[in-house]
A and B are shown apart, each in its own frame.
Chain A
Amino acid sequence: MEKRLLSALVAANSANPEHPWTHTGDVPFGTDAVRTFRLANGLRLLLLVDKQAPTVSYFTWFRVGSRHEKPGKTGLSHLFEHLMFNETEGLPAGTFDKKLEAAGAETNAATWVDWTYYYESLPKDRFGLAVTLESERMGRLVLREPQVTSEKEVVANERRYSVEDNLEGSASELLYKTAFDAHPYHAPTIGWMADIEGFTPEDCKGFYETYYAPNNATIVVVGDVSERDVLTKVAKAYGPIASSELPEEDTMPEPPQTAVKEASLSRPTATEKVLVGYKGPSLGDPEHAVLTVLNEILFGGRASRVYDRLVVRDEIASDLRGWVSTFRDPGLYEIFLTARGQHTRAELLATLDEELETVKHELVTVDELERAKARLELGLLQTLDTAAGKAEQIGFYDTVLGDPRGAFARLEAYLRVTRGDVRTAARRWLPRGARTLIHVIPNGETAADPDEADDAEGAEDTADGAEADGEEVAS
């Protein structure tokens, strides 16, 4: 019965209104399958029927992020994400959230370097509301004062919270600013404060008309829905929205880093910290999975090599972590180390370097490799607990890699990694002479001597330079 009804909605390759959807294939996802479709205007739909709870998650992924911004206009993708919750031609300001809340929906959005997504998770009988609201703001958003001004204030406050008054946020921002010169990963997704303050409604309108079009979007639906209902409602709501002429990618590749870059931050903190960034592989690079396994061996949990050495045995660090950026273009392998007590960044770096040199020269143990793989497998399974978790995984890998089953493909890749692969990855991706170091230096301020604050304020500087073995060269 379902199949016969579907035949009126799906054709092999047709723009016929009677057959609005082109079925572009089924993709295995664990023990299930993601059905994939495309409308004539370019909108893609990825559907996973999942009846484990009477809910549905509806994600809209746009293939635009801060990488598409130009100098002087940083933060526009993120500001725009905020504005998408305001006014449309059919919905007065404030109505969007009101309708979703009345339906008991969870809703939010996220912007990063390569993408922006919006989601609603709803009780299954309110699926149609998500379709109505999302199609409305994709096609008929209103951008004007005073909402733009008010939202700029909100974003400025978000920036204060996540960067200005946040030690790790400001260090991370400085790391990318220092590590990247040509590539737009240089600029923070939230934008520089001066750029945020300068946006006009016209900036926002231009961005909307360029990037918020069905041919730049993918809808991911996971939940207790019928395929026929989804196809009918989505086609009806989005079919009339015109596609746009998307600009060609205009990204400057980052030239290879050949020397150590350094910068420092002075902050009212009790202990020294250091953030290390190695140029890393893109998410689509086969070595990304290998480096992720290596990171797990080095930093994953309290039995990991670097944690055991710096925190447990030597007791010179109080906290540390490592992360391989999951970007479309080559990003960074980030390592953050927090010194304990009076221990110094130099001690941390010297000890870290010893551990990194070891994995370049000696094979990790079989047990370390198996533990890392088990941890990564558990981590993947945990992301699939809810409909929203599945929808996010499907949409993320589809948007960044063009592969909705990317999460499972990565798990398979992890399981194939050998000890030799790990050693090769360490040799390739951890060049001591071509990394970026961000030094966080306590400025000695306490609440008792606040008058001295002016001298130290914003003491940020950047400089390229060679690094000697374990020698402190930062200011």
Chain B
Amino acid sequence: MTPAPKLLDAVGGRPLFVETSRTLPLVSFAIGFETGSYFDPVGKEGLMRFVGRLLRRGTKRLDAKALEATIDRLGAELSVEVSHANVTVHGQVIRRNLEPFVALVAEVLGEPAFDAEELERLRKKVLAERIEARDNDRSLAQNAFRTAMFEGHSYGRKATEASIVAITQPDIAGHFRASILRENVVFGFSGDVDADSARKIAETWLAVLPSSNVKPSFADLRDPEGPKGRTLVIVDKPERTQTQILFGTLGTSGHDEDHIPLLVGTAIFGGTFTSRLMREVRSKRGWSYGASARLNVERVRHGFTMWTFPAAKDAAACAELEIDLLEKLIAKGVTPKEVGFVKSYLTRSHAFEIDTPSKRLHQTLDTYLLGLPVDYPTRYLSEVAATTHTTANAALVKRIDPKNMAIVVVGTAKDIRADLEAKISGLERVSVVPFDAE
């Protein structure tokens, strides 16, 4: 049986997960917080990411460069990941330097500098990064897609130049004290560390965290409404020989009873190299190097998305084909044979989701931080096994609505627009946005 991180009670009643492994002289940890960009105030979008990045840019004792140098000297890595519904501090260190690294992390969490000069430096860098991101067509597609899919919902809220400029040093310090708390933290360790040592380390870190009677709550987080009608957004960029195409409708949340059956249906459609999408788009026609579908898991209902990147000359035909394939998937369903095949793939390949202590730890923490049932990782296998073509098809029909679909294409509009409009049926709205717009 595959080992799993053990759940221990840390001080303060906060969860602590530990899995010891002596395979490599490395210790990995994750300190997760039940908060995220969801709580960014209106007009200050991007605030939580600034909190995360500034945490890594100095303590009261060490300036940004000294902090970096100290981490490097220890043979360590330290990063802060901010997503919609969680903030996680990830770390890894060569075992012989664990003790000084623990002390350093305590300093980062307990005595962040949030230096005003460093904030200005970071702000300028973030604004420059936003401009550089325009060089990446896939990034452009994803950015536009969030808006097209989730406008009006917190999933679709994004930092803007104005919101970044509006963030102040007191905003950051205040948001840190209100978000990164003893009351919403969860600890996880894996690698060359035993449970007793992990508990002591967690106690050290817990003691330095801010505390508050009020912690961030997701009680008001609701399902998004999703796209209304079939909409096409062309992100217009000159000189594109290729396009990036994203299609999306709403999917499920991890709590929904039909989540796993929908996941099985999605895998059949576009989750493997031999899936329907890959077979039709890549193997038969050679139109795109890749064609895939995925189901995102978040606290509440998120998206079912398809991604492909055909040459500009094939973009319209490829989009038409993929929509047709999706409509047929909903209308005719998947077969028992396809379900049997994908169940075998999903259950057997699960071994590679959990083949290292570090992967098992992060899966456990992600489950916790998304508010999913604690046994979600183990239930996953039994629910995949229990899925039938009947339940998979019911989930597809109930959840996936190709009529209400956002389609985002990055390409050169003058070369592709007319064909796209001609080939994609039922379009209710078409818009063209410059790639270098905000």
Contact = CB atoms under 8 A, between A and B. Distances in A.
Interface in A238-262: none
B239 A268 contact: yes
A378 interface: yes
Contacts of B238: 268, 445-447, 450, 453
B263 to A, nearest CB: 16
A386 B349 contact: no
Interface stretch (A51-59, A180-188, A227-235, A349-357): A51-59
B73 A367 contact: yes
Interface string A351-381: 0000000000000000100111011011001
B68 A302 contact: yes
Contacts of A387: 355
B358 interface: yes
Contacts of A104: 344-352
Contact of B65 (A153, A308, A374): A308
A392 B424 CA distance: 44
Contacts of A378: 26, 75-77, 92-94
A264 to B, nearest CB: 16
Interface residues of A, number: 74
A160 interface: yes
A126 B352 CA distance: 14
Contact of B286 (A154, A161, A386): A154
A101 B346 CA distance: 9
Interface string A150-162: 1111101110110
Contacts of B348: 102-105, 123, 126
B237 interface: yes
B339 to A, nearest CB: 13
B242 A157 contact: yes
Contacts of A385: 24, 26, 356, 358
Interface in A87-115: 93-94, 97-98, 101-107
A167 interface: yes
B161 interface: no
B121 A157 contact: no
Contacts of B350: 104
Majority SS at the chain B contact face: mixed
A370 B272 CA distance: 44
A165 B241 contact: yes
A371 B72 contact: yes
Contact of B74 (A374, A384, A451): A374
A150 B285 contact: yes
A156 B358 CA distance: 37
Nearest to B65: A303
B266 to A, nearest CB: 15
Interface stretch (B211-219, B223-231, B276-284): B276-284
A303 B358 contact: no
B298 interface: no
Contact of B274 (A101, A382, A446, A451): A101
A308 B63 CA distance: 13
B344 A161 contact: no
Contacts of A121: 352
A126 B21 CA distance: 25
Contacts of A367: 69, 73
Given A98-B274, A378-B75, A161 B289 contact: yes
Interface stretch (A206-214, A311-319, A395-403): A311-319
29 contacts: A97-B273, A97-B274, A101-B272, A101-B341, A104-B346, A151-B286, A156-B286, A157-B286, A157-B310, A165-B137, A165-B242, A268-B238, A270-B132, A270-B134, A271-B128, A312-B121, A315-B121, A318-B128, A318-B131, A340-B124, A341-B131, A367-B69, A381-B24, A385-B356, A446-B238, A448-B434, A450-B236, A453-B239, A457-B239
Interface of A: 52-55, 93-94, 97-98, 101-107, 121, 123, 126, 149-154, 156-158, 160-161, 164-165, 167-168, 267-271, 300-303, 308, 311-312, 315, 318-319, 338, 340-341, 367, 370-372, 374-375, 377-378, 381-382, 384-387, 445-448, 450-451, 453, 456-457
Given A53-B351, A102-B344, A107-B273, 18 more contacts: A55-B352, A55-B355, A101-B273, A104-B344, A153-B286, A154-B288, A157-B242, A157-B309, A157-B311, A267-B239, A302-B68, A303-B69, A340-B128, A374-B75, A375-B72, A377-B75, A445-B238, A450-B413
